[in-house]
Amino acid sequence: MKTIYLIRHGKASLEGKEEERVLLEEGVAQAQQLKAVFESLSPKISKLYSSPYVRAIQSFQPFSQSSGLSISVVNEFHELKLPTKPSDDKNEVRKNLWADHNFKTEGGESRHEAARRALQALNKIKDQLEEGTAAAVMTHGTLIGAVVKEFGLEPYGYEEWRSMGMPDVFRVDFEGDKTQVSNVGCAGVDSFRIGEQANKNLEINKDYLKEKQYKKSNYLEARIAIHNFGSEQESLHGWVFRHLQITKPVKVLDVGCGTGIFWQENVAKLPAGSIVVLTDFSQGMVDKARQNVKGNNVSFEVADIENLKYADESFDIVMAHHVVYHAENKDKALKELRRVVKKDGFVTVTSNSERHMFNVYEIGKSLDPNFPTDRIIDSFTEEVADGMLLRYFSQVQKLVSEDLLKVTDMQILLDYVRTGVEPRNIAVASDFYEKYAVIAKKEMDAKGYFGIPKRSPLYICRKN
């Protein structure tokens, strides 16, 4: 029997060219932890091969140095090429990739093409191995998924790819004409999983949200302020309202209105005769919204998304913008939204992608292990909403807004970072914000701004 271990690299930066992206501090630590994993494998590794990408080579270096084995770079083990356009729904592109092995984007390659070039290289390695020995290949998640699926590992598709660890270890055994594939994992390594945040059942504590995060508006206002650095001429609130295409008087319920900033911008655009009911589960937010939004057609109430006090089918439009993730029981919340909207009306829901502004959190985690990356939004991201909304609405139209925040004000950036720490009474190092500022300033000096990618979907949901 001959064995080849396929290993996904450690956690890497999202900045820079694909082939030049380096391991984050967390990824460097993972590479050190992998040494013990590799040393424990049987049969023992006798040869090392790697993708030409920097993050893959870095993931092997600690073991290479301790074992004395050199790393052979093989170009065929580079990641599957899947270029996308700004207008593309990247999650749909990924789903299409796993649904059809011939699917590819312009200038890219299909899953079948990527697997074929990797398999050719793997067969050469296998032929050079002696019986009873093993080689290890450090490569990339999508390529590994494509290869193990070609080898016959089932079921294997989009969801299995999302649950793959970073890093992770697969074992391929060759015995005669037979090939057996298994995911052996990497026990003892702090792996990151692309889907772990979306699938995590985060405990939502409403008392905490009311008494800490949203009792006063200052934390929410700090989180809103950073979005003033968007590259798009149109605000997210303006973009959402435009897509609602309201042409006649309507009765609107806004569940989770926050400070009322959406209506501060859009209430005057409503047709005459429209009625707007702004609600939030925090009295502090309702009070702030009352200050910000003026109009005889606007009323303000405290309300809970899971227990709305309104009659069935009493609103033409029900809005839940960046709020469903605050619900302790999201199924109950969605049922309530569906209940109070009229049969010919619609519900609008907004959220964020898992990767939305994620570099802000990656930097924080690299500086202090106590920095929280389990965001409240992670319990109802785009990746979760895509499937969940279809359980309650027969028609779901999805639109996506993407932007790059170009932040030039250090204080606003640091205030945003603080909103993820201070309300939760999390202790970070005394020099945490100083170090964060050094990293951010380096990018500001180089580019003229600190870049933060945004991705927010709008769902327009109908009962019938």
| CATH 3.40.50.1240 boundaries in the chain | 2-194
Predicted confidence pLDDT, tens digits, the chain (464 residues): 999 999 999 988 877 788 999 998 888 989 999 999 999 999 999 999 999 999 999 999 999 999 999 999 999 999 999 988 766 677 788 889 999 999 999 999 999 999 999 999 999 999 999 999 999 999 999 999 999 999 888 778 888 888 888 899 999 999 988 999 998 888 777 665 544 443 333 344 445 444 444 444 465 677 778 888 887 778 889 999 999 999 999 999 999 999 999 999 999 999 999 999 999 988 888 999 999 999 999 999 999 999 999 999 999 999 999 999 888 888 899 999 999 999 999 999 999 888 788 888 889 888 887 787 655 556 788 888 888 898 899 999 999 998 899 999 999 999 988 887 765 667 788 899 999 999 999 999 999 999 999 899 999 999 87
Q: What's phi and psi for 318, nearest 5 deg?
A: -120, 125
Helix (H) or strand (E) holding 459: strand 450-462
Q: Tell me the C-alpha distance between 357 and 355, whole Å.
A: 6
Domain 2-194 listed as CATH 3.40.190.10: no
Write the CB contacts of 402 (distance below 8 Å, at least 6 apart in sequence): 86, 453, 454, 455, 456
pTM as predicted? 0.54
Q: What's phi and psi for 58, nearest 5 deg?
A: -60, -35
| CATH 3.40.50.150 boundaries in the chain | 199-462
Domain 199-462 listed as CATH 3.40.50.150: yes
Q: Taking the chain, what is the end-to-end CA distance rounded to the nearest angstrom?
A: 58
Our CA dihedral for 156, 159, 162, 163, rounded to 10 degrees, sits at -80
CB burial readout 110-143, b (16+ within 10 A) else e: bbebbbebbbebbeebbeebeeeebbbbbbbbbb
**Dmax of the chain from CA atoms?**
83
Is-cis flag, bond preceding 372, omega within 30? Answer: no
